[in-house]
Amino acid sequence: MFKPRAISTIALFIICSFFLSSCSSTPPQSQAAAKVEPWPIYDDTQAQEHISWCEEKYGQAEKMYAVLESERSDNDAIALLEDVNDWHMLVDEIAGKSGLFAYVHPNPEMRKAAQICEQRIEALAIRSSMSPAIYDHFDKANTSQLGEVDLHYVREILEEFRRSGVNLPKETRDKIQEINKEISKLGQSFIKNISEDSRKIELDSVKQLAGLPDDYIRAHAPDENGKIVLSTDYSDYFPFMNYAHDDEARLAYYKEFRLRGYPANDEILRRLLEKRHELAKILNYPTYAHLTMEDKMIETPERAANFINNIDEIAKARAANDYTILLDRLKKIDPTATKVGDWQKVYIEKLVKKEQFDADPQEIRQYFAYNKVEQGIFDLTENLFGVTIVPWRTEVWHPSVKAFKVLENDNVIGQFYLDMHPRDGKYKHAAHFGMRHGVAGKQLPTAALVCNFPGGNDGGTGLMEHEQVETFLHEFGHLLHGIFGGHQRWLGISGIATERDFVEAPSQMLEEWVWDPSTLKAFAKNANGKVIPDSLIQRMRDSRGFAKGLNVRHQMYYAALSLALYNQDPSNIDFVDAMKTLQARYSPYEYVDDTYFYASFGHLYGYSAVYYTYMWSLVIASDMFSEFEREGLMNRELARRFRDTVLAPGGSKKAATLVEDFLGRPFSFDAFEKMLSADLKKAQ
């Protein structure tokens, strides 16, 4: 990876990793040399300052790049890596800040300025990934003195150069560069169109909010015309889909939600697919899916397709069983129902969990006020990994944003921002944004979590769904990966710079802790200070597996769609037809007419063909978690081993090796299969 992964959008959108000490990848015990600098955040009227900042930094980056390309006086590999590293640090700084501000800054002018800056630096990084001069320096470098990690890094750099087309004639390389630039621009527009397309629905009567929690009803009072206006922001949309009794309103809202990005993204997606296909053909791959999977654990689209079908088969029996239960429950509301609709599934699922498992989400959420959850996640991190999280006094880009430092033995080992509540123009999903990759002794890993959880103007009392608590911990897992892994010597292999189809695994494993009774009881308290009762936790755990098979199959629909769009010549793809066909093949729920999900499927840019990665990582996460199940969730020694073998090495080894180092064997499907096929436990 010559181009620092920070620059590739994939690393920026970790939307929504483990031990060996025989190499130089072990994190240094002391970070005394790393300075703690406040992140320079401009206020929301200073877009021009950002442009000037970008101009200046970009100018420096171009100069350093010219030096990198020039003749070298020797073929010393370490000196070359040092020079590249310095350049990566500068590029990372520009990309990290712009990449975040383009999606979260409150000022639209600032977002635009940051977006332009991000495009410029990305273009330079793309140019660097095809530089024959730099490739030549690496190819001729004397690597005889390099240790295992450095050698691995150099090999990866050379492979990445070849994959980028460095050996092709100049005209072809110029063309590739143009295509890559175009892809980057299209991708940004694709995401922006989703973020900024905040749609509204209007309800005529407060009766249509029946079923929703009181705080939601209070926060959505009728306007002067007597209308209740709901936006397609997650904090409005998901509770409504979970709880609103009004089936018609739910369907109308679902349709509006699945119109986000449409029609603007229709054409953009088509051009994005075409450009990526064109790139793959020039680089001599049959499709873009082949190109992008070559450096993943899964390696080929054929293996990805097999994986998707395999998982689908494993989930089928469980899904069929749960579907019957959902349909039976729906028939009690509508005796004529013959199938469960996509807009009905979550609502009915919640009803079943409440009635058959006595796990009422509305009873549950009283224990998850935002502030308590945040503190609970900090406490868990401190207890499990032996670090301390303290407030960090620094400038932020919005008053609701908070900043923290992570300390170990009194040394700061990383810093982060939490931007956790919705606002206009802000990125709508939940994601980890790597703002600065750590480099041992030189710079601290710095990241931001960008989420859309309840609260923001209420002093942190907003009540979260348990799923949101899970999401919080998941995203926090990426942040910890970036911090614990952010102490490599080289930025290119620092933090979460691991294979794309592995990067979700550590976070997915951490999700398990929000189902652990002692973890929950440490922070889940309601407004009166009452701790979440054991019996409720047990009921939540009993209900957890219900509908899991259905969800797994629906996820395989998304994975199949992401693969299909990139695994063929896109010129004749009919998006709606592709959705309909694949949804019918995989998902238990039918396609709903007049919806255009692909237009808001943001992963189609950042993840392209590899949406399967969530499930692939989950298989690995389940296997890794089985160690904690056996040894104890709060077993610090095991947590240390996990951190040292999986997180700390960052991208200094192949992911399969990291997992094997932790497990003492290659990973298997067993734990995942066991989890899916577990018997339905009914409370009654």
- Give 494 or 613: the residue with its C-beta nearer to Zn ion: 613
Within a 10 A sphere around the Cβ of 26, how many other Cβ atoms? 18
Q: In angstroms, what is the minimal distance from the CB of 433 to Zn ion?
A: 12
Rama region for 495: left / alpha / beta (φ>0; ψ in -120 to 50; rest): left
DSSP helix/strand/coil, 336:
coil
Is there a contact between 351 and 578 (Cβ–Cβ < 8 Å)? no
The backbone torsions φ and ψ at residue 419, rounded to the nearest 5 degrees and listed phi first, read -120, 90
Q: How far apart are CA 433 and CA 427, in angstroms?
A: 11
Tokens 């009905």 belong to residue: 344
Q: In angstroms, what is the minimal distance from the CB of 496 to Zn ion?
A: 10
- Give 165 or 506: the residue with its C-beta nearer to Zn ion: 506
- Give 208 or 507: the residue with its C-beta nearer to Zn ion: 507
Q: Which residues within the stretch 246-275 sit at the binding site for Zn ion (CB under 5 A)?
A: none
Q: Which stretch binds Zn ion (CB under 5 A): 359-367, 497-505, 553-561, 617-625?
A: 497-505
Q: In angstroms, what is the minimal distance from the CB of 537 to Zn ion?
A: 25
Q: In angstroms, what is the minimal distance from the CB of 476 to Zn ion?
A: 10
- Give 507 or 600: the residue with its C-beta nearer to Zn ion: 507
- Give 243 or 476: the residue with its C-beta nearer to Zn ion: 476
Within a 10 A sphere around the Cβ of 40, how many other Cβ atoms? 12
Q: In angstroms, what is the minimal distance from the CB of 577 to Zn ion?
A: 30
Q: In angstroms, what is the minimal distance from the CB of 554 to Zn ion?
A: 18
Q: In angstroms, what is the minimal distance from the CB of 651 to Zn ion?
A: 16
Q: Which residues within the stretch 506-525 sit at the binding site for Zn ion (CB under 5 A)?
A: 507
Q: In angstroms, what is the minimal distance from the CB of 14 to Zn ion?
A: 5
Is there a contact between 482 and 495 (Cβ–Cβ < 8 Å)? yes
Q: Which stretch binds Zn ion (CB under 5 A): 161-169, 314-322, 460-468, 503-511?
A: 503-511
Inter-helix orientation angle 345-356/234-243, to 10°: 60
CA angle 24, 29, 31 (to 5 degrees): 100
Angstrom CA distances, 413 to 318, 381, 651, stand at: 44, 14, 18
Residue of 198, 11, 183 lying closest to 100 (CA atoms): 11
Half-sphere exposure of 563 (CA within 13 A, CB side): 22
In the numeric block, which tokens belong to residue 428?
A: 């709508």
Is there a contact between 152 and 651 (Cβ–Cβ < 8 Å)? no
- Give 565 or 621: the residue with its C-beta nearer to Zn ion: 621
Q: In angstroms, what is the minimal distance from the CB of 446 to Zn ion?
A: 18
Residue 72 one-letter amino acid? R
Q: Which stretch binds Zn ion (CB under 5 A): 498-506, 557-565, 575-583, 674-682?
A: 498-506
Q: In angstroms, what is the minimal distance from the CB of 478 to Zn ion?
A: 6
Q: How far apart are CA 654 and CA 502, in angstroms?
A: 10
- Give 180 or 551: the residue with its C-beta nearer to Zn ion: 551
First to last CA, the chain: 55
- Give 18 or 490: the residue with its C-beta nearer to Zn ion: 18
Q: Which stretch binds Zn ion (CB under 5 A): 285-293, 502-510, 516-524, 551-559?
A: 502-510
Site string for Zn ion, 576-595 (x = CB under 5 A): --------------------
- Give 358 or 504: the residue with its C-beta nearer to Zn ion: 504
Q: Which stretch binds Zn ion (CB under 5 A): 314-322, 392-400, 500-508, 651-659?
A: 500-508
- Give 92 or 504: the residue with its C-beta nearer to Zn ion: 504
In the numeric block, which tokens belong to residue 567?
A: 């695994």
Q: In angstroms, what is the minimal distance from the CB of 15 to Zn ion?
A: 6
Site string for Zn ion, 419-448 (x = CB under 5 A): ------------------------------
- Give 211 or 506: the residue with its C-beta nearer to Zn ion: 506
- Give 432 or 653: the residue with its C-beta nearer to Zn ion: 432
Q: In angstroms, what is the minimal distance from the CB of 582 to Zn ion?
A: 23
By CB under 5 A, how many residues form the interface with Zn ion? 2
Eight-state DSSP code of residue 644: I
Site string for Zn ion, 212-251 (x = CB under 5 A): ----------------------------------------
Beta strands in 289-396 (DSSP E): 388-391
Is there a contact between 502 and 617 (Cβ–Cβ < 8 Å)? yes
- Give 88 or 478: the residue with its C-beta nearer to Zn ion: 478
Site string for Zn ion, 105-124 (x = CB under 5 A): --------------------
Rama region for 532: left / alpha / beta (φ>0; ψ in -120 to 50; rest): beta
Is there a contact between 85 and 149 (Cβ–Cβ < 8 Å)? no
Residue of 310, 293, 352 lying closest to 586 (CA atoms): 310
Q: In angstroms, what is the minimal distance from the CB of 449 to Zn ion?
A: 11
Residues 6 or more apart whose CB falls under 8 angstroms from that of 102 comprise 111, 114, 115, 118, 188
In the numeric block, which tokens belong to residue 547?
A: 């509908």
Q: How far apart are CA 581 and CA 596, in angstroms?
A: 14
The residues binding Zn ion (CB under 5 A) are 504, 507
